[in-house]
Amino acid sequence: MFELSALFFGLLSALSWGGGDFCGGLSTRRADPYAVVFVAEFVGAALLAALALIFSEALPDLSHLLWGGAAGLIGAVGLLVLYQALASGHMGIVAPLTAVISGGVPVIFGLVTEGLPAPLQLGGFAMALVAVWLLAGGAGEALTRRDLVYTLVAGFSFGFYFIFIDRATGEGNVFWTLTVARSLGGLLILAAILGTRRPLLPLRAALPLSAATGLLDAGGNLFFALAAVAGRLDVAAILASLYPGITALLAWGLLGQRLNRPQVIGVVAALAAIVLIAV
C-alpha cells in the first residue's frame, strides 16, 4: 500500500503537470510566456495558501520553509532558462532532453540516499526515461553549445527542484512550503519581467488559461509532494516526469494533433514502465 500510494500520487502529478503544460502552451500563443508563468505562479500560490487555511495546517519550521524557498527559486531559474532554449527553435531536442535530465537527477539521488529499489523497478525507471524522450517527440536536431548549456541548466534545475521539494515536505509540511516555493518563484519571474521590460500580465483573452495553468501546475506540485512523502523520491520523480505524454495526448484528443510513431511507442513504453514500477 505504501508504494501504491506513491504510484497513485505520482501519476496524478503527471496528469496535472501535463494538463498545466497544455494550458500553458495554449496561453503562450496569445501572450508573452513570462507573463503567463507569472500569473500561473501566483494563482497556484493562492490555491495552496487557501488549502493550508482550509485544512488548518500549522506553519512549518524555518528549515522546511528554506527548502521550499530554494525549490521555488531553482524551479523559476529552470523555467527562465528553458524558455531561452525553446526560443532557439530546437524544441524537438530541448523538451525531451530537459525532461529526461530532470527525471534522472532525483533517480540518481534516490539510489544514493535510499538504496537500490527492486530490479523490476530499476527496469521501470529505465523504461520511463525512454518513454519521456519518445513522448516529447524524440530528437533529430543538433544543438548549439549555448542551447545545450541552457538545456542542461534547465534539466538539472528541475531535477533539484524535485529533491528540494522532497526535503521541504518530508515531514508532511505540504501546503505552506509549496506556497512559499511558488511565491518566491513568482517574485523571481517578476524580477526577470521588470528587468527585460516584458508585459507584466497577459492579455485578457489569455488570463483564464493562464489561471488554469497555475491551478494545474500547483496540483502537480502538491501530488508530487504527496507521492514523495508516501514512497521513494525516485519513484515519485520518474512517474511525475511522464507529464509530456499527457500534454501530447491532450493535444491529440482536443486539438486533433497527430501522434507520431515515437510518441505512440512512448505511450506503450510509459504503460510498461508503470507496470514494472508498481510490481
User: 10-residue block means of pLDDT along the chain (279 residues)?
Assistant: 77 91 82 88 95 92 92 90 67 70 85 81 84 67 71 89 89 88 94 91 87 93 91 85 81 78 80 76
**Contact indicator for 88, 144 with CB cutoff of 8 Å:** yes
**Contact indicator for 190, 4 with CB cutoff of 8 Å:** no
pTM of this prediction?
A: 0.85
CA torsion sign for 174, 45, 242, 163 is: negative
Distance, CA of 87 to CA of 254 (rounded, Å): 25
The region that residue 141 occupies, defined by phi over 0 for left and psi between -120 and 50 for alpha, beta otherwise, is beta
Which residues neighbour 121 within 8 Å (Cβ) at sequence distance 6 or greater? 235, 276, 277, 279
C-alpha cell at 250: 491532450
| CB-count exposure of residue 159 (10 Å: 0-12, 13-18, 19+) | buried
